[in-house]
Each structure stands twice: as C-alpha cells, then as structure tokens.
Amino acid sequence: MSAKKSLPRGALARAEKILAALQDRYPRPATHLEADNAWELLVATVLAAQCTDARVNTVTPELFRRWPGPAELALATQEELESVIRSTGFYHSKARNLLGAAQRVVSVYGGEVPPRLDELITLPGVARKTANVVLFGAFGINEGLAVDTHVKRISYRLGLTAHTDPVDIEHDLMRLFPRAEWGDVNHRMVWFGRDVCHARSPRCAECEMADFCPRREPPKGK
C-alpha cells in the first residue's frame, strides 16, 4: 500500500510542533455539527458532504422532529426526505443513502448505530471519514482519523504527507499523531482550515506555523 512509503522529511518533528500549535489555538475542539446521539451525528455528517455545517444545522431540527430515529426514518419515502434536506445539495443521493442506512440500522443492528468501523462502513453513504467522525464524536473511539477537504489540504501544505488520497493521508497522520489525539486533530484542523489556512488565500501572516510550514500544494486536480 502506498501509505507505507516513507513520510516526508521532517514530518515527525513538524507534527509535534503542529499538534502543540493547534492545541494552543483550539484548547476545546469540537464538531460544528449539532447532534444529540450517534444516529443524529451520522445523519448530520452524511448531509454535510459538499455542504456547510451551518446549513446542515438549519435542516436537521425539522428532520429529527419528523423522524426522531432510524426506525421512524426507515418508514419515510424518498420524496418526503428530499423535501426536507433539499437545501443541503445532492439531496437525491443523500436521501437514498439515509433511508438505506436507517433501514439497515433497524434490520441488522437492532435500531442502534454500531460502534465499530467495519460495521459502520456497511451502511449506505458511510465511508471511512463519516465512520471515524461518528466513532469519535458519539463513542469516544479513535479507530482512525477523519480526512475531509480541510485535513487533506492542511496535511499536504504542512508537509505531513506526500499523498493526495484520503485513505493514504489518514494512514500517514495516524503514524504521526498519538492515537488519543486523532479525533481532536481532525476538529482542530477543520477549524484551522476555516479560520486561517484557506484553500485559495491562506492567511500565513496570522499563522503561528508559518516559520516551519513548507507551503506545499498538491498537484492540480488532486
């Protein structure tokens, strides 16, 4: 697997500095998605694909009012669900996946979201990133490290990885950061990506990591 190749030179030393800097900047990291349990977090994370957390948070209250859990959602129609989640974008596929996930949670897992990565990724619409978010956010389990667009960009820019595939990046980050920090590293990088390390115009003058950041950019299209 390509993820087993050598890390970029100096990556381990940079990772230690990066972790300290992110901990100082964000001492109490958390997700921006509003959810009260594992099912709600799973739904919100699926809806957040190609959509802002703020937008998702305007949609989920009505969704959970109408269908409080997987048992209720499993009985909804595609059209009913689409009408509620339309503003999150890609609502046809999101509705199809959420209905499939609800039905599988009910039929296979007794109505409870399973606290295992290998079981979570059998749910429609749930890949490793979503599974890692749910495992840490709902169960406090660090099985892996969620790699979204912010984590992917920042990891490459800071020289923590030479990969562009999210799974390969995840494996690199898991080698660089203590397991107990994986979930919080994701949250901190997401916040940092939104506040400072923007995709097009990073605010390097405001970044405490500017002195040791190699400012690497992935190949175009990656």
CA distance 94 to 82: 8
Per-residue pLDDT of the chain (222 residues; tens, 9 = 90+): 344 578 999 999 999 999 999 999 999 999 999 999 999 999 999 999 999 999 999 999 999 999 999 999 999 999 999 999 999 999 999 999 999 999 999 999 999 999 999 999 999 999 999 999 999 999 999 999 999 999 999 999 999 999 999 999 999 999 999 999 999 999 999 999 999 999 999 999 999 999 999 999 888 777
Q: Which two tokens stand for residue 219?
A: 């190949």
Q: Is 136 helix (H, G, I), strand (E, B) or coil?
A: helix
Question: What pLDDT digit, counting tens, does each position of 66-84 carry?
Answer: 999 999 999 999 999 999 9
What's at 193, amino acid-wise? G
**148 is a catalytic site residue:** yes
Selecting among 94, 129, 152, 184, the annotated active-site residue is 129
The Cα-based distances of 104 to 81, 120, 143 in angstroms read 17, 10, 22
Question: What pLDDT digit, counting tens, does each position of 100-139 carry?
Answer: 999 999 999 999 999 999 999 999 999 999 999 999 999 9
Cβ neighbours of residue 83 under 8 Å, at least 6 residues apart? none
Q: What is the pTM of this model?
A: 0.93
18, 209 in Cβ contact below 8 A? Answer: yes
Q: Which two tokens stand for residue 157?
A: 């820019």
Selecting among 5, 24, 148, 222, the annotated active-site residue is 148
Q: 187: exposed, middle or buried (C-beta count within 10 Å: 0-12, 13-18, 19+)? A: buried
